Structure 1
Amino acid sequence: MVARVQRWLVFGWLLVAVAWTAWWGSRSPAIAIAGLLVLTCSHAAFLALEFVLCFRVGASDPLPRASAWQCFKAWLAESAVAPRVFCWHQPFRWHAQPDHLPNAPRRGVVLIHGFVCNRAFWNPWLRELRAADRAFVAVDLEPVFGSIDRYVQTIEAAIVRVTEATGQPPLLICHSMGGLAARAWLRDADGARVHRIVTLGTPHRGTWLARFGRTANGRQMRMGGEWLQRIDGESDSVRQVPFTCWYSNSDNIVFPTSVATLPGADNRLADGRGHVEMAFDDPIRREVLALLED
C-alpha cells in the first residue's frame, strides 16, 4: 500500500510540475522557475520546521541538544536523503532486494521499518547483507495506520523464517516505530529467540511530534501515552534481550533526545544525524552489522 500511495504522489508531483511549466514557460519564465523551485524545495521547508521544533523542545531535555550548526547540517543531509527514500526507493524499488534465505549456519537478520515506510527503506542494508550471503527478511508492516500490536504476527513470521534457514536466533534491526513493534512482539515471546534488538531513532518513550498524530499507531507514540505505559509495564524487555539503541541529538522526528534511549540498554549517540539520515550513515551501518559476529 505504501508503495502504491507514494507512486501516485510522485506522479501527481510530476504532473503539477509539467502543467505549471507548460502554462508559465512561455508567459513568464521567471514565474515558471520560481514555481518549480517551490515544488522542489517544499519538503525541505517542512523538514526545517521539524528541526526548529527539535532544537527548541530539546532545550529542556536532560541530554545535551545539538548545536544550531549541527541541526543545520542535519537538515541539509535529511533534505537530500528523504526524497531518495520516499520518492524513489519506497515507491519504485520496494522489491529490488528480495528476502534472502540461504541454508547456512550464520546468524541472519530481520529488518523492521518505521512509520509510513516499507521494506525498501532498507535497500542499502539488504544489498550489503546479500553480498555477504547473510540470511535476511525485511518486513512490510500492514496496515500502515493500524495499531502497532497488529504487526506482531508479521515479525513472528519473519523471525521463524530466518531461524529456520540459519538455525540461529536472528539480529533484529529496527528503525523508528519498528523498534516499538519489536518490543510489542517481545511482550508475549521468548526473548532467547532473538540475538539482540538494535533500534535506530525509536521513540521508546514517545515523541513530542506524536501529539499531532491521528492514526492508531501515531497516537500510540505519544509521550506518556497509555500504550507506551502499558508496554513498559508488561515486559522487562531490556533484561530479556540485549538492546542497542541509537539516538540522535538532532533527530527531527523523535525528540527530545532522551526519548530514543532505554534504561539498561547500550545507548549510542548518532551525533548530529537526522531521523532518516541515521539509517543511511555508513559508519552506523557498519557498527550495527558488526553485531552479527557477537
Structure 2
Amino acid sequence: MLAWIQRVLSLAWLAALLVLPLRAALRGEPPLAVAGWAALVLVAHALWLALTMLMAWAANRGDASPPASLRQWLQAWWGEVLTAPRVFFWRQPWRTQAEPDGPDIGAPGQPGVVLLHGFFCNRALWNLWMARLRAERIAFVAPSLAPVFGSIDDAVPLLEAAVQRLEQSTGVPPLIVAHSMGGLVTRAWLRQQQADGRVRAVLTIGTPHGGTALARLAMSENGRQMQRGGGWLATLSKAEPVDRAARFHCIYGHCDNIVFPASTAVLPGAAEVLHLPATAHVDLVEHPASWALARRLIQS
C-alpha cells in the first residue's frame, strides 16, 4: 500500500514540475517567472527539510547530545536533500521488490539479519544493505511493516514471521537492524513474545526510544504512539526487564531532523551508543559507520 501512496506522490511531484512552468509559459509570463515555478517545485522538499532541521535545532538546545555547529547542520541538510528523493521518490515507490529476501543464502549456523524500516517507509529503504548482505552471503529478511498508519503493536506479527524464517534457515538467533520506528516495533515484539533469547542483538538507528517532539504533529496512531511522555511508550518501558536494554546498540545523531531532542534516540542501559555527527534521519541508514557496526555485530 505504501508503495502506491508514494507512487502517487512522486508522480504528482513530477506533474507539478512539468505543468506549473508550462502553464506560466502559456500565459506569457516572463522566463524568470517560468524558471521560478520550476525551481520552487525542485526545492520544495529541501525547504521542508530545512524547516524540520530548524525544529530539531530548537529542541536540541540544552540536550545531552553534543551540540552541532552551523556547518554540521548545513552538511546534514544537504546530505538529506540528496538522499531523501532517492528513497521516497524512487526506491520505495518503484523498487520495493528490487532486492528479494535472502533467508537461505547464508551458511547454516551463520547469523542472519532482519531489517526493519520506520514510519512511512517500506523494505526498499534497505536496498543498498540487502545488496551488500547478498554479496557477502549473509541471510536476511526485510519485511514491509503494516498497517502503514496503524498501531505499532499491529506490526509485531510481521517481525515474528521474519525472525522465524531466519531461525529455520540458519538455526541461530538473528541480528535485528531497525531504523526509526522499527526499533519500537522490535521492543514491542520482545515484550509480546518474551523473545530475548531469540535475538543475537538489536541495532537501532535513529529510533525514538524516548519519543520525538515531532510526533506532536502526528495524525496516525503509530505517530501518536511516538510522542514524548506518551502513554504507549510509558507502558512499553514499564513492561521491560532492566537487563533487556543490554541487547541494544543505538546509533543516533545530533542533526537528526525527525527524532529530537537527539538524546531520545538512545535507550538507557544500551550496550553501545554511537553518535554520528552532521547526519540527518534517513541518511543515518546509509552512513558507512552504521553498516560497519552491523557487520561487527554479525561477526561477534
Q: TM-score range by the shorter chain?
A: over 0.9
Match of 2:276 among 243, 246, 270: 270
Change in 2 beyond 3 A, CA 1:237/1:95 = farther
1:17 equivalent in alignment to 2:14: no
CA deviation profile, 1:225-265 (whole Å, cap 9, x unmatched) = 00000000011275376110001111000011110001211
1:169 equivalent in alignment to 2:176: no
Change in 2 beyond 3 A, CA 1:276/1:110 = same
The equivalent residue for 1:206 is: 211
Match of 1:248 among 247, 253, 273: 253
The equivalent residue for 1:87 is: 89
Q: Secondary structure at the match of 1:110?
A: strand
After superposing the two structures, state which structure 1 stretch, 58-67 or 124-133, moved more: 58-67
State how 1:108-147 maps to structure 2 within 5 Å: 108-147=112-151
Change in 2 beyond 3 A, CA 1:56/1:91 = same
Per-residue deviation at 1:16? 2.1
Per-residue deviation at 1:134? 1.0
Match of 1:279 among 262, 281, 285: 285
The equivalent residue for 1:158 is: 162
**2: CA distance between counterparts of 1:206 and 1:223?**
4
1:3 equivalent in alignment to 2:8: no
After superposing the two structures, state which structure 1 stretch, 54-63 or 37-46, moved more: 54-63
**2: CA distance between counterparts of 1:146 and 1:237?**
28
Change in 2 beyond 3 A, CA 1:240/1:255 = closer
Residue identity matched to 2:120? V
**2: CA distance between counterparts of 1:259 and 1:181?**
16
TM-score scaled to structure 1, two decimals? Answer: 0.97
**2: CA distance between counterparts of 1:276 and 1:180?**
16
Per-residue deviation at 1:64? 2.5
Per-residue deviation at 1:2? 0.9
Residue identity matched to 1:174? A
Q: Secondary structure at the match of 1:60?
A: coil
After superposing the two structures, state which structure 1 stretch, 161-170 or 29-38, moved more: 29-38
CA deviation profile, 1:93-148 (whole Å, cap 9, x unmatched) = 00000000226221100000000000000000000001111111101111100000
For the Cα contact (< 8 Å) 2:17–2:42, is it kept in 1? no
Change in 2 beyond 3 A, CA 1:44/1:185 = same
The equivalent residue for 2:107 is: 104
Per-residue deviation at 1:29? 2.3
**1: CA distance between counterparts of 2:192 and 2:44?**
43
**2: CA distance between counterparts of 1:194 and 1:3?**
29
Per-residue deviation at 1:67? 1.4
**1: CA distance between counterparts of 2:18 and 2:295?**
43
**2: CA distance between counterparts of 1:264 and 1:274?**
24
The equivalent residue for 1:258 is: 263
Change in 2 beyond 3 A, CA 1:153/1:237 = farther
Change in 2 beyond 3 A, CA 1:241/1:152 = farther
Q: Secondary structure at the match of 2:61?
A: helix
Residue identity matched to 2:2? V
For the Cα contact (< 8 Å) 1:55–1:68, is it kept in 2? no
TM-score scaled to structure 2, two decimals? Answer: 0.95
CA deviation profile, 1:24-66 (whole Å, cap 9, x unmatched) = 3352322221111100101110110111111111112123321
Per-residue deviation at 1:13? 1.6
**2: CA distance between counterparts of 1:17 and 1:53?**
27
For the Cα contact (< 8 Å) 2:245–2:267, is it kept in 1? no
Gapped regions of structure 2 (runs ≥ 5): none
How many aligned positions are there? 294
**2: CA distance between counterparts of 1:114 and 1:174?**
8
Query: Cα RMSD over matched residues?
Result: 1.3
The equivalent residue for 2:224 is: 219
Match of 2:189 among 185, 189, 214: 185
